[in-house]
Chain A
């Protein structure tokens, strides 16, 4: 069995998901042995090949140039795996999708005329076929490792799409929503973090994006019953996965209901 050739690509992102690979400190030697890492600028390798067995893609599409580049990456890739909230949902930078991008560029850059950017930040899957998505901001080391080990052994990787609540209960946590009245997005958020925030008695803020059955309308009703303000739900939905359809649509409906309420 020869190690699969691997490339790690970056689009609009903070590099945190790529760093999760390097963060696998104890397993790093084994990963380096199991994968034939040919392109991973963050770590060193920079060989541009015509074909990689596996491409890990971080970041969202925010420029016309990147929209072209992702097609090229797709053509060079056997399996294309997107990693992180930017690649899978457009990331926090997708806040621009409902804002005035020209106004932002003017406010931030001394020479806005030098900036070429799209009005939107979109996930990779809006542009090319994606074979597997790893969620999170950043991705979870454990999910990454189980995906790598599955691919290497020829098993089907199985990231689960159920809610954070399932992991939260398995961890034996106190439910902060029910017992403390703390705003928690766990019931609509995709598992994978092992319920990190509720384990420290904080509410989940949805960095893994919508779960397989995310029902923001039902959560809105539940949060209201717990005495949590609509504005808090809107803020929670409009962060790392603001452009994920379930969160974006849910936030719109929350806003409508908030207006009716007022």
Chain B
């Protein structure tokens, strides 16, 4: 982290705060959560401590890297009236490139999904492009999936396969407690060489792969994610939409925590002048929005998706079905955030399984064949 900071990066990563794992600016390795484990289930998160000394023994919280490259609130432009004309200015670009410490596989893939949308060649978002450009990614292999995780169903796995500069795996075995680092890019390799750490042995690498394998085997839930777009076709009138709408609060938490949800809304703000003359400056702002808001589907003063049923259906089908046709990728990376952080404990895997007519959505952790337990 110090080397990255010295190279001019703004280093951000996990910290323990208010009983959760949040992503914030990091000074040094001391800021990382230590001996933290988390318990996640639909609608519930609890953070615990053990005496392991582990740095990455937890699974991610509501925060995601989206908040750094596609912030919840941002200024888009400013228009200032001058004598007989006006001047438009854009906010200054961020001073430093970002370095993300501890991105999981689902998070690395979520960045690629968001890139595909927000950097669409027809209308790329220049502010996103500027923040995203050159992000240094230090990824981490997951050792212990949460009960809400389902990345292996959505094209991923506990071990990041691409999209990182450095990949860390925390290994704690008979040999000892260590971080195994592997380079994923030239600059990642350059950084690791510069740090002059001891070279990893083949045993170290085997142990790191073993961590990933055990985590994959212990993945608590499986669903055929690739089959979902086809299976969800024609489910518009499935009775389960009513059933889930009974419990859904239309609160929007699921979309806000989803690392790939990109909807946003724009608003203009004018100021006041001390002499009562017409305002001279307008600021245009962009804020995260959600398909659970009435505004989201309001056309000509009328909300097209007026019911919670219609809004939940928009959310689930966009994530798991229509996104694929729209962008050629999945809209969901299987991180489980929407399920943990849903105050009503609505489980997207369970709902999708019911709608798609798939046999099993959730199994208790470590109950599958080949489990590491």
- A99 interface hit (Cβ, 8 Å): no
Name the contact of B269 in the complex, choosing from A146, A177, A215 (C-beta under 8 A). Answer: A146
Q: Are A180 and B19 touching (Cβ within 8 A)?
A: yes
Complex-state Cα separation, A172 to B294, whole angstroms: 22
What residues of chain A lie closer than 8 Å to B46, measured between beta carbons? Answer: 179
Are B269 and A149 within 8 A (Cβ)?
A: yes
User: With contacts A179-B45, A213-B308, A222-B344 known, is A166 near B293, CB below 8 A?
Assistant: yes
Q: Which A residues touch B18, using CB under 8 A? A: 173-174, 179, 201
A160 touches B272 (CB 8 A): no
* Given A165-B252, A213-B250, A222-B249, A170:B45 Cβ within 8 A: no
Q: Are A175 and B253 also in contact (CB < 8 A) when A158-B267, A180-B19, A222-B43 are?
A: yes
Give A226 to B270 CA distance when docked, in angstroms: 43
* 19-54 of chain B: CB within 8 A of chain A: 19-20, 22, 43-47
Q: Do B246 and A34 have beta carbons less than 8 Å apart?
A: no
Contacts between the two chains (Cβ within 8 Å), count: 147
Report whether over half of chain A's contact residues are helix, strand or loop; otherwise say mixed: helix
A153 contacts across to B, CB distance below 8 A? 270, 278-279
- Cα distance, A198 to B246, chains bound together (Å): 25
**Which of the segments A6-14, A23-31, A111-119, A131-139 contacts the partner chain?**
A23-31
A239 to B53, CA, bound (A): 46
Binary flags per residue of B274-303, CB closer than 8 Å to A gives 1, else 0: 111011000000011010111100000000
A206-237 vs B, CB cutoff 8 Å, 1 = contact: the mask equals: 00000111010111011001100000000000
Q: Are A178 and B279 closer than 8 Å at their CB atoms?
A: no
Cβ of A1 within 8 Å of any chain B Cβ, yes or no, is yes
List which B341-356 residues lie within 8 A (CB) of chain A: 341-345
| Of B47, B267, B274, most A-chain CB atoms within 10 Å | B274
Query: Of residues 227 to 260 in A, which have CB atoms within 8 Å of B's CB atoms?
Result: none
Partner of B47, one of A1, A161, A170, A179: A179
Is B193 at the interface (CB under 8 A from chain A)? no
Whether A152 is near chain B, meaning CB under 8 Å from some CB there, is yes
Which residues does chain A contribute within 8 Å of B44, judged by CB atoms?
Answer: 178, 226
CB-based contact A219/B249 at 8 Å: yes
Would you give the shortest CB distance from A144 to chain B, in whole angstroms? Answer: 12
A178–B274 contact, CB under 8 A? no
> In the docked arrangement, what's the CA distance between A212 and B287, Å?
19
Q: Are B276 and A178 in contact (CB-based, < 8 A)?
A: no
**B272 contacts A149, CB within 8 Å?**
yes
Kindly state the separation between the CA atoms of A34 and B268 in the bound complex, as whole angstroms: 18
Enumerate chain B residues within 8 angstroms of A211, measured Cβ to Cβ.
Answer: 250
A262 CA / B274 CA spacing, docked (Å): 62
Q: Could you tell me which residues of chain A, from 140 to 192, have a CB within 8 Å of some CB in chain B? A: 146, 148-150, 152-153, 155, 158, 160-163, 165-166, 169-175, 177-180, 184, 186-188
For residue A3, CB closer than 8 A to chain B, the reply is yes
Residues of A in contact with B, size category: 35 or more
B271 within 8 A of A: yes
Question: Is A48 interfacial (CB-CB < 8 Å)?
Answer: no
Say whether B19 contacts A174, CB under 8 Å.
yes
A160-B295 Cα distance, complex, nearest whole Å: 8
Asked whether, in the complex, the Cβ of B294 is within 8 Å of the Cβ of A169, the reply is no
Do the beta carbons of B295 and A218 come within 8 Å of each other? Answer: no
Query: Which residues 327-352 in B have Cβ within 8 Å of A in the complex?
Result: 340-345
Kindly provide the distance from the CB of B22 to the nearest chain A CB, expressed in whole angstroms: 7
* Cβ of A107 under 8 Å from chain B: no
Q: What distance in Å separates the Cβ of B280 from its nearest Cβ neighbour in chain A?
A: 11
Which B residues touch A64, using CB under 8 A? none
Q: Are A150 and B270 in contact (CB under 8 A)?
A: yes
- The 26 listed contacts between A and B (C-beta, < 8 Å) are A3-B276, A30-B273, A33-B273, A34-B272, A149-B272, A149-B279, A153-B278, A155-B270, A160-B293, A162-B292, A163-B251, A166-B251, A166-B290, A170-B288, A172-B63, A174-B18, A174-B19, A178-B43, A179-B46, A187-B343, A201-B18, A215-B249, A219-B343, A222-B247, A222-B249, A226-B44
A-B pairs, 6 with minimum CB distance = A33-B276, A169-B256, A30-B272, A170-B72, A213-B250, A187-B251
Name 16 extra pairs, CB < 8 A, besides A30-B274, A179-B19, A218-B248.
A149-B270, A152-B270, A153-B270, A155-B270, A165-B253, A170-B73, A178-B340, A178-B341, A187-B343, A215-B248, A218-B344, A219-B343, A221-B344, A222-B43, A225-B345, A226-B44
Query: Which residues of A does B touch, CB under 8 Å?
Result: 1, 3, 27, 29-31, 33-34, 146, 148-150, 152-153, 155, 158, 160-163, 165-166, 169-175, 177-180, 184, 186-188, 201, 211-213, 215, 217-219, 221-222, 225-226
